[in-house]
Amino acid sequence: MTSVTTPSAADAPRSVLGRALGVLAAFSDASPELALGDIVAATSLPPATAHRIVAELVAWGALERVGRGRYRIGMRLWRVGALAPSARNLREAALPPLQDLAAATGHVVHLVVLDGHRALFVERLAGGEDAVTVRSRVGRDLPLHASGPGKVLLAHAPAAFVDEVIGHGLPRLAPGTITDPGTLRAVLDDIRRTGYCLSHEEMTEGASSVAAPVRDSTGRVVAALAVVVPAAAPLPPFVPAVRMAATATSRRLGFRGGNGHGASSAR
């Protein structure tokens, strides 16, 4: 059985909507598929209630059955989420620059946003035949400190938020993951100063990246755009193309400032 966190009975939602949302919230990147028993453990719902809610969510399309007795998030829920204006506008603005970047470099490119204390992949375009294999996929999240785009987002977040992220711990995911708070703070300062981030084998062994911030019409950093390359590849040559793609996306979102170097941020 998948390991899940069990809330106390007092924390269990009481309304029908709250219980249904609690069932959906039981799914995560770490637990994309759950059995009914997992859902019961995660929500503290009575088995009969959980079974009824799951059946209704399956009928509507928010969940779908996977094999015998297991469930995952359904495509209808994904389609509804894709209608969120901010996410839709961002992806529409970023897609042409992302396509140009993938074509120019021949490598995987990402568009990443902040989701709580995590980095969330909202777009991924494949590279050419020589592109490095990476673990990313749309809808997956990862720690902010362990990737180039995640650190770009963290660099432009409020200082109190950075303190919270560091307070939650900096686990090592790959040989180059930054696990020392002082080193991470120095890297974030450098990202704000230069306008881009070079990341060496921080999320995936054998893969490095170059990332730059994407800004909306107010100058606020709303996303990060990145290209992932083999760890042996020199990173500086990719910086101009990544910054150009990030600037083009920012322009399409209405930003009329500079190239992001020294522009306003949440800090």
Per-residue pLDDT of the chain (267 residues; tens, 9 = 90+): 444 444 444 444 468 888 998 999 898 767 888 999 999 999 999 999 999 999 999 999 899 988 778 999 887 877 776 666 566 688 889 999 999 999 999 999 999 998 888 888 888 888 665 555 565 556 678 899 999 999 999 999 999 999 999 999 999 999 999 999 999 999 999 999 999 999 999 988 899 999 999 999 999 999 999 999 999 999 999 999 999 999 999 999 999 876 555 444 445
Residue 209 forms beta bridges with which residues?
Answer: 199, 228
Distance of CA 193 to the CA centre of its chain: 23
User: In the chain, what are the domain boundaries?
Assistant: 9-80, 85-252
Cα(183)–Cα(177) distance, integer angstroms: 11
Cα(267)–Cα(265) distance, integer angstroms: 5
219 neighbors 264 (Cβ within 8 angstroms):
yes
42 neighbors 26 (Cβ within 8 angstroms):
yes
Residue 12 corresponds to which tokens in the numbers above?
């269990």
Cα(248)–Cα(150) distance, integer angstroms: 20
Q: Where are the beta strands (DSSP E) in 168-259?
A: 197-200, 207-215, 221-230
Could you count the other beta carbons within 10 Å of the beta carbon of residue 168? 12
Give the sign of the dihedral formed by CA 186, CA 266, CA 209, CA 142: positive
226 neighbors 210 (Cβ within 8 angstroms):
yes
Q: How crowded is the C-beta side of 72, counted as CA atoms within 13 Å?
A: 10
**Domain range 85-252, CATH architecture:** 2-Layer Sandwich (3.30)
Residue 52 corresponds to which tokens in the numbers above?
């009824």
CATH topology of domain 9-80: Arc Repressor Mutant, subunit A (1.10.10)
Cα(241)–Cα(98) distance, integer angstroms: 10
Sequential DSSP letters for 123-146: EEE---TTPPP----TT-EEEGGG
Residue 180 corresponds to which tokens in the numbers above?
């020392």
Whether the domain at 9-80 and the domain at 85-252 fall into the same CATH topology: no
Cα(30)–Cα(22) distance, integer angstroms: 16
